[in-house]
Amino acid sequence: MKPKIRILLVALVACTLLIVAAVAWATETLTVHASFNPDRLGAPTNVSVTGKFASTTGGLPSPITHITAYLPAGVEIDARGAGTCIAAKLEQLGPSGCPADSRVGFGGGEGLIELAKETIREPYTLDFFFGPRENGHLAVLAYVKASSPAAFELVLVAKEFHAPKPYGLGFAIAVPPIATLPEASNASVESAFLTFGSTNVAYYKTVHGKKKLLHVRGVVVPKTCPPDGFAIRATVDFEDGTTLTVDPTVPCPHH
C-alpha cells in the first residue's frame, strides 16, 4: 500500500471511529413540565407544556425529525363551535389566512443554529389551528415562524391517533429539516413552550339570524384521575438517529 493511500485510510478509519463514537455519545436530554390550568376534573382547561433540550456532548442538540405525544386517557378535545384552517391557506397567508375561531393554541421558544463554530440563538413562535379532520381524526396545524437572524415559516401537521393504555389521544408530527442560513447547521430546538385551549374562549355566531355568544370547550380534563396522576408521554426522534422518551405526569387536582 502506498503511503498516501495508507494515510487516507487511517484518516478515514479515524473519522469513522469518531462517527461511531459520536453516535454512541450523542445523547439529547429533555426536561418537560406539563400542567392543566384550571386543574379540575371534567372541566375545560388550558394545557401548558414547557420543554428544554440539551446535549450531553456539549454541542447543539440534534435537529428534531419527529414528535409523538400521548395524552392521558380521558382527555377530550371538544372542537364543537371551532372553525378549521386549511394548511395551504396557512402556508400562503400565514395565521391571517385562518378563521379566528380555528385557533387552538400558541407557543414559542428558542432554536439554535451553528454557524462558523458559533452558536446562534433564534427565537421562534408557534400558532396552532384546528385543521380539517382526516378519516375522522383531528388534525392540528402548527405554524412555526422565526424572523432573526434567519427568517423562515413552515406549517407542520399533527395528526391524532388512538394511543395505547394508559393513554387516550395521541398526536404525531413530522418535522422536516429546517435550513436557516447558508453554511449553517439545520435548526435545533433548545426550548419550547406550548399552551392549548382555554376556559373562556368565546365567539359570536349568527344562529337563526341572531348573534349568539358561543363558548368553545376545547381541551377537557379527564373525569377521573389515576392514583399516580395523569400520565403523559412524549417521544422525540432526532436527525442523528437517536430517540428520546419522557414521561411527565400532571398531579391529580387537590380536593
Partner 1 sequence: MPAPLAECMRRPTVSHLAPAGTVLAAIVVWVGLAAPAQALTTAAITPSLSPDRLGAKAALTFTISYAGGQFGVPSPVRRSVLRFPTGLSLDIPHLSSCAAAHLRARGASGCPAQSALGSGHALVEAHAGSQTITEDVAMRAFLGPPQNLRPTMEILVRGYTPLDERMVLTGTVLPDRAPYGEELVMSIPPIPTLPLEPDASIVSFTLTIGAARPRTDGANTLLTPPSCPVGGFPFAAEFTYADGSRGTALAEAPCPL
Question: Rounded to an integer, what distance in angstroms lies between the CA atom of residue 139 and that of residue 128?
Answer: 10
Q: Which is nearer to partner 1, 237 or 240 (CB)?
A: 240
Nearer of residues 67 and 126 to partner 1, judged by Cβ: 126
CB-CB contact of 36 with 46 (8 Å) = yes
CA-CA distance, 229 to 41, in Å (whole number)?
12
- The least CB distance from residue 24 to partner 1, in Å, is 9
Going by C-beta distance under 8 Å and a sequence separation of 6 or more, which residues neighbour residue 4? none
Q: State the nearest-atom distance from the C-beta of 136 to partner 1, in Å.
A: 27
Using CB atoms within 10 A of its CB, is residue 235 exposed (0-12), middle (13-18) or buried (19+)? middle
Taking the C-alpha atoms of residue 187 and residue 192, their distance in angstroms, rounded to an integer, is 13
Whose Cβ is closer to partner 1: residue 139's or residue 144's? 144
Counting Cα atoms < 13 Å in the Cβ hemisphere of 114 gives 9
Q: How far is the CB of 158 from partner 1 (least distance, A)?
A: 15
Shortest Å distance, C-beta 191 to partner 1? 11
Q: Give the nearest distance from C-beta 165 to partner 1 in angstroms.
A: 28
240-243: Cβ within 8 A, 24+ apart? 240/22, 240/23, 240/26, 240/62, 241/23, 242/23, 242/26, 242/27, 242/28, 242/62
Cβ-based nearer residue to partner 1, 147 or 224: 147
Burial of 5 (0-12, 13-18, 19+ CB in 10 A): exposed
Amino acid letter for position 247: D
Q: Which is nearer to partner 1, 53 or 128 (CB)?
A: 128
| Pick 7 or 228: Cβ nearer partner 1 | 7
- Give dist(CA 22, CA 20) in Å, integer: 5
Residue whose cell numbers read 348573534: 211
Shortest Å distance, C-beta 213 to partner 1: 6
Q: Which is nearer to partner 1, 33 or 137 (CB)?
A: 33
| Least gap, CB of 125 to partner 1 (angstroms) | 4
Where do contacts with partner 1 occur on this chain (CB under 8 A)?
15, 18-19, 21-23, 25-26, 35, 37, 46, 48, 50, 55, 57-60, 62-63, 94-95, 100, 103, 105-108, 114-118, 120, 125-128, 143, 145, 148-149, 181, 183, 185, 193-195, 198, 200-204, 213, 215, 239-240
